[in-house]
Each structure stands twice: as structure tokens, then as C-alpha cells.
Structure 1
Amino acid sequence: MTRLPLQAVLFDMDGTLVDTERLWWEAVEQVAGRALTESDEAEVLGRPVEHTADWLAAATGAPAADLADALHREFADRVRAGIVPRPGALDLLDALARDGVPTALVTASPRAVADTVLEALGASRFAVSVTADDTDRTKPAPDPYLAACRALGVDPAACVAVEDTRTGVSSAEAAGCTVLAVPSLAPIEPAPGRTVLPSLEGVTTERLRTLPTAAAPSHELRVMSWNLWHGGTKVHDHLAKQLKVIAETGVDVVGLQETNGTAAEELADALGWYHHRAGENLGVISRHPITARFGDPAVGFYGAAGVRVRAGEREVDIWTAHLDYTPYGPYESAFDGLPAAELVAHEQVRLAQMRDALHRIEEAAAPGVPVVLVGDFNSPSHLDSPDVEWPVTKAAEAAGLRDSYREAHPDPAVQPGHTWSPIHALHEDGSGRPEPQDRIDFVLHRGLRVLHSQTCVSGTPRPWPDVEHNEWPSDHAAVITTFSLRE
């Protein structure tokens, strides 16, 4: 996925930068003469004063102009009584100023109210401000965000809009912006190109630069298999580096191994995605809703776990597996010189684990629902070696699962696709022996069409043990496959 450099950040005002959403809610309740409910939200939050006044007029019979005046007065009185910045808002504005990223204020409030808030925040913080008075249509129409982008001379696709209401999110997305949603009153669901966080605390310019943009069209699904290597903890600032990889690759679903217990939840929370944690080692994160979870939720370090995700109009089962690493066949072949028959015989532990995973997959399977199995199998593929019929991948093939990487790259001599290991050129025992390089991480599937498949490593990782500052936070390469969801 091609990403444009971040050109500007566009901020909603009420409820996003300053805590006025509740003040507005209270003002409407005062004028309406009753408590508001969730069913009133669409007519109140993120709407211009005139819209809410018309809505109240229809309900009460009072003149809309009088109601608008009353709403202005009640809200302005509350704003003057004290504006409270939202958590993290001023820190983020200061960081963007230091980093030279232009900002704009884009609000459905009238100019008079916006100017009051701008004065309190510091009008110089914003290069542009767009209010309800400045466009023919306001939120949820895209006009305010498009007007701000025109005034700044930037491409909406290269901007992040920060919003707190569904109405504002709709406006920003219709304009073509990537969205960071920080809900203030009503919940907002994550979606392709939309990240949801609880607040702006801790949000940095770099974080905004790496927010996931709109996902691939709904007829494609981009799946990654990634062994995080003890959750990434061997590398400094691993979470930020993991998030950057996910954002820049544009993946939709990631099957994780070696999560260190909490990585799936941490990544999903940071991305505003859905997640499933299984035991202390496995997890799945998805920008698409997870509709079911499979397997033993307390699975041990080795095993398999799965979810069903809804991607557009289709459901897909996504499983992640991690198989035992001992005895490790490539070592027995390269270092011990074992013949093929013994290598195959020594795969029995992993073969049993794969058969258990395949059994669980079949138990959960539903008619017409494709299956994707990703994972670190700690075993090479029989498709890569003419001399050894590695049984783990053969068992998966016998169950109808196809190797997406080999479908895309049939010749292992031309595209070996090694995933072990980007940081181990030499064996770590200090002997100076070359480390066997093999393809042991996979994205297998049944019922889909492969559009593209690749391995992924960012930067140029330094070799073990000097890995703390590597850009790539793992000892495995990841595998990414793009599938067509068209039936």
C-alpha cells in the first residue's frame, strides 16, 4: 500500500480538543426542557446550531430562530465559564508545531463560538479554521474538511482528521481523510482507515504518520503471519516499531505467535482493531470484526487458535499456529547430516500438533467459509526440498490447505522465501557455522484466490546479539498474502 507523507492534521473542536461536547449537550437539554437520551445523539452531536434548533422547533412548535438564539446563549455562557482542554490535546498540538506539521480547526460550531475557543487555546496554533459559517454544508457533509484542505493546499488523502463523533467521522471520511477517533460521549467503531483511541494522551506526530489508511477494497483480504519474538521485547521501542510495520504494509489481519501474553491486546488497542488472545503465546488482530473465536482459549505455548472475521460481505476463518521447535530439522540436516528418513521420523511431535490444529479447523469450519492458517511451523516445506518430504506441510496440503507463497512463487530456487532468520547469519553457538536459512513461516489457505504473497523485513537488521536498536523487531521475517474475496 502506498502511503502519502503526512501533510496536515485537521482537528474537530467540541469534544476533541476541548471538553465542550458535554457543555453543548447540557445547553440543548436546558433549551429543550428535558434530559436527552442516546436516541437524540444524531440530532445534537456534531451538528450545527441551526440543525438542532430546527429539530427542537419540530418537536416543540417554538420558532427555530428563537431556539437557535437560546442555544447560542446557553452554550456561550458555559464556554466562558471555563474551557477544559481534552487530555493530550495541547501536547499533540505542540508536538505538531515542533515537527512542522500544519494544523486546522474544523468545526460545526458557528464562528463566534469557535473564535472564543481559539482565543483560549491560542489562535496561532492553527493555520486555518473552518466553521459552520464558512461552507454551504457542514458535517456530516465533507465540505468543511475539503475547505480546510483547499485553504492549506494539501491532499485530503495525506491528512489525518481527529474527531470525536460519528457525524464528524462521516464528514472526514467522505472527504478522503484518514481518521483518528477519540469518542467523547457516544462509542465509535473502528473501521478501515479509522483508528479509535480512548484519548489523545501519548499520541505523537510519528503515531499519526503511521495510522492505518483506508484498507484494501472489500474484495481483498491482506493476511500476515508474524512471530513477534517474545512479544518484540528484545528490541527497544518494539510496540511502536510493530505498529509501523502493520501500518506501512496495510495488512487487514495478523496471526501472531510469541505474543508474550499481551501483545495482541496491546496492538489491537493501539490500532483500534479487534483481537483474540489465546494463552500466553498466540493471538489474532483484525481491522475487520471478529464474529467467532475457536480453539482452546488457554492453549499452551504450542498449538493453534482461530477466529472468524467478517470482511465486507464474506466471512473467513483465520487460524494461527505455533509448533514445537525441537528437534529442529534444518539443524539435524546441516549440522548432524541426518538422512531424509530420520529427518521425517523426527517430525512426529510437530506432525501431531499440526494434525490437532487441522482437526480443530475442521470442527469449526462452516460451509462456504474459506480458511486461512498462518503460523511458525518450525519446519521447512516439502514444496521447497526435493530431497525431504517434510510431513508437517504435507499434512496441511492433504487437508486441502494450499501454500499461498508457493502459489505466487512456484520456483524455490528463484524465490526461496526464507523467514528464518533475518538476524542469524551465523549459528549463535559461536562456532562460526552458517545458520541454516529456511522458510518455516506460512500463510496457507482453502477457498480463496492468491493475488500476491511476499516475505517482509523492514530496514537492515543487525545480527544477534546486537539487535536492541533494530528497526525490525523480530527474529523471523513475516509473510503477507493478499487474497481475493470474490467468489
Structure 2
Amino acid sequence: MIGAIHTQRPTFTPGPRASKAAAQPDQTAPVADSIQLSGAAPAASGAQLAKSAQATAAAVAAQNQGPAGPALLKVLSVNIMFDSESGVDEIARIIEATQPDLIGLQESAASTKQLAEKFGMHSLQQDKRTALLSRFPIEKVTDNKYGVQVTLENGKQVGFLNAHLTSFPYQPHQLLHLPTGGGVYLNTEAQAIAAANKTRGKEVRTMIADAASLNLPVIATGDFNEPSHKDWTEAAHKAGRHPIKCEWPGSRQWEAAGFTDSYREKYPDEMAHPGNTWTPNAAQDDPKEHHDRIDFVQYRGAELKLKDIQIVGEKPEFADIVVTPYPTDHRALLATFQVG
């Protein structure tokens, strides 16, 4: 069910290539009429759910009385390739290798509940292709279902958002005149910016508005299906890495809203650390593909301090954490924050 929250036990006990053309422009985050608590009879209303979650959070805080010192928070973002042809167990190996507290899943439907049950996590199926998993009870859901509010063991509240933004048409392919670009070719930076704004600009603005509505330190994960202006630089263009220099509007919007790109905070040199997440399923010199960084962990808030960010993937030359066989067409990101 779209917008359904599933609550599991609050402990954490780990237990063929898809093209961009195959991912049709399904809109992210349609709004559900109500939010239901799985396993309750009768189903709880949104207000009852909020009350219940707040009570649970208060109980957790009571069990952890004392000075509210800083907490470490591990956040995983992973596109599981339409529930993965490899199955839930293969996706679970990524979670086992990273031990996250919060997970943003993209292209996840049937797998969401199975993964939540396997790892004893709370879950929100945001829409038919995105979901959130949390080791902490979900206390509040934003109006457009992009995000939730959770309370950590040290009593600090954090907002957590996730999205799979519209994937088609995909502007890098349009610039390279690849057929997976939809048959509409682009040649200039201005054309690319306009096309990207048309494709997913409204989604980015709505997601940022949901983040603002929480009035909390916020972490946002996702497959944004658009590169960063911090990667498509003049230097990268001159080196032949990208067809043009481009001030991609999505990453500019996040920056203007006060968010920090976690990967570029740790690795500001785009030439030394490209950080490509798309795609491990194609050879580096494949003329029908363009390797890029389109998966992100963005964050905002004085109480959040980035401690580390790691790429999870198929080989040591492309990833900090290696999982083999690697089950999906996007490398994952694991960000570790100090909160408080």
C-alpha cells in the first residue's frame, strides 16, 4: 500500500543490466489518503500513529536517561534495481556489510517489507518504487511522503528523506545522442539545464519543502537521476570525462537550500575522486553508457557532522566496501554522521 508504515521490533539484528530507458518516468511520492499502521486492528489513524510513535520515542528516551551526548548515525542509500533480479537475500548482503541505522531504498516495492522483517526495522513504503527503513520508530511523515521524523537514542530528533527522481528522459544520454535519451538530443548547457528542470525540477522543490517542514537537522538520500554541477566542471569537460561543462539545476537547488553534498564534502576534487555510482553493470569504455555520480546523501543542520562517506560496490577500484556478487546497477552510499 502506498504510504503504509510497517512497524517491526525495534532491535537491529542483521541477519541483466537495466537501462535508463527501462525506468519509465513514474512520478515519485504520490500522496496517500491515509497512513496505516501494519498489524494493528483496527488500523490506526494518522493522529493515533503520531501519538503512538511519540510515546514509543519517549519510552526509548527514558531508557537512555543521562547526558544526551553525540550519537553516531549510519545512513545507507541504495537503488535495488526493481527489487533486484538477484532477490532479497542478495540485497540483504549490502545491509549486512554496512550495518545502517537508516536506509533509503529506491526501486523497492515487494522487497521493502521483507527487508524490514529480516533486519527488525520500521518501514515506510513512500510510493510504489521508494521506501524508508529505520532502526528507530517513525514518528511523523511529511505531507508529500518524501520524509519522516525519528528520535535517536540520545534524544536528538532527525529528519530523513528519500527519493527516486524521474529517470527519463535522462539528460546525459540526450547530450551524448544515445537512443536511451528518448530520441530528443541536446547540444548545449542551456538546453541541458532547461530539460533537467522540466524533468525533475518540481520534484526537487517539493522534496526540499518537505525537508523544511520538519524544522530539524535533515538527511536526504536518493537516486536523483541527475549529475552534480560539482562533477561536470570545466576541468572534467576538458579531460574528456563529460561532453560539456554543466551547472546542473538539481544540485544547485540543494546547495541554495543550504544542503551539503556529503561525498563532495569529503572529496572536493572531482578529478581525483569521481565517485561514480552509475553504473557497475557497464564497462568503463562502453560507448552506449556514461558513468556518473547520480546517487546522493545531502544533509543540512548544525547538529550534523559528517564523519565518513563510503561507496559500496563490486570492485575495490570503484568502492570502499565491496560486496560480491554485487546485485544492483547502482553503487550504494554509506554516510556516517555525528549527531548532537
Amino acid at match of 2:204: M
Q: Is the 8 A contact 1:426 1:434 kept in 2?
A: no
Say yes or no: does 1:413 pair with 2:267. Answer: no
One-letter amino acid of the counterpart of residue 137, structure 2: P
* TM superposition shift of 1:284: 0.4
Partner of 1:309: 150
Equivalence for 2:332? 478
Equivalent residues, number: 251
Task: State the match for 2:306 in structure 1.
Answer: 450
Q: Residue 136 of structure 2 is aligned with which of 279, 283, 288?
A: 288
Aligned to 1:209: none
Pairwise CA RMSD: 2.2
What's the counterpart of residue 55 of structure 2? Answer: none
* Cα distance, 1:251 vs structure 2: 1.3
The within-5 A match list for 1:46-445 is: 189-192=9-12, 219-232=71-84, 234-235=85-86, 238-259=87-108, 261-296=109-144, 305-312=146-153, 313-335=155-177, 338-348=187-197, 349-363=199-213, 365-366=214-215, 369-386=216-233, 387-425=245-283, 433-445=287-299
Q: Secondary structure at the match of 2:139?
A: strand
Deviations 1:418-459 (A, max 9, x none): 0100002279xxxx6251100000000001111111211146
Could you state the TM-score of these two structures normalised by the residue count of structure 2?
0.69
Give the AA of the match of 1:327: P
Aligned counterparts of 2:14 and 2:129: Cα–Cα separation in 1: 28
Please identify which structure carries the higher helix content.
1
Does the residue aligned with 2:83 lie in a helix, a strand or coil?
helix
Q: CA deviation at 1:227?
A: 0.9
Is 2:13–2:120's contact at 8 Å kept on the other side of the alignment? no
Q: Deviations over 1:38-79 (max 9, x none)?
A: xxxxxxxxxxxxxxxxxxxxxxxxxxxxxxxxxxxxxxxxxx
- C-alpha distance in 2 between matches for 1:410 and 1:419: 16
Query: Is residue 453–residue 481 contact of structure 1 (8 Å, CA) maintained in 2?
Result: yes
Q: TM-score, normalised by structure 1?
A: 0.49
SS in 2 for 1:263: helix
Measure how far apart 1:333 and its partner are.
2.3
Cα deviation 1:298-342 (Å, max 9, x = unaligned):
xxxxxxx21112121211110001111122121122335611111
Cα contact 1:459–1:471 (8 A) shared by 2 = no
When Rg is computed on C-alpha atoms for both structures, the one with the higher figure is 1
Q: Which has the higher contact order (CA 8 A, sep 6+)?
A: 2
Aligned twin of 2:38: none
**CA distance in structure 1 between the partners assigned to 2:314 and 2:142 by the alignment:** 32
List alignment gaps of at least 5 residues for structure 1.
Answer: 1-187, 196-216, 298-304, 461-469
CA contact (8 A) 1:320 1:373 kept: yes
CA distance in 2, matches of 1:476, 1:226: 7
* 3-state SS of 1:325 partner: coil
Deviations 1:259-303, CA, capped at 9 Å, x for gaps: 1x2322111111111111112111100122222222445xxxxxx
**459 and 283 in structure 1: CA distance in 2 versus 1, 3 angstrom threshold:** same
Aligned partners of 1:218 and 1:311 also within 8 Å = no
Percent same amino acid at aligned positions? 32
Structure 2 gaps of 5+ residues are 1-7, 16-68, 178-184, 234-244, 317-323
Structure 1 distance, partners of 2:119, 2:9, is 12
Q: Find runs of 4+ consecutive structure 1 residues off by over 3 angstroms.
A: 192-195
Q: Is the 8 A contact 2:13 2:119 kept in 1?
A: no
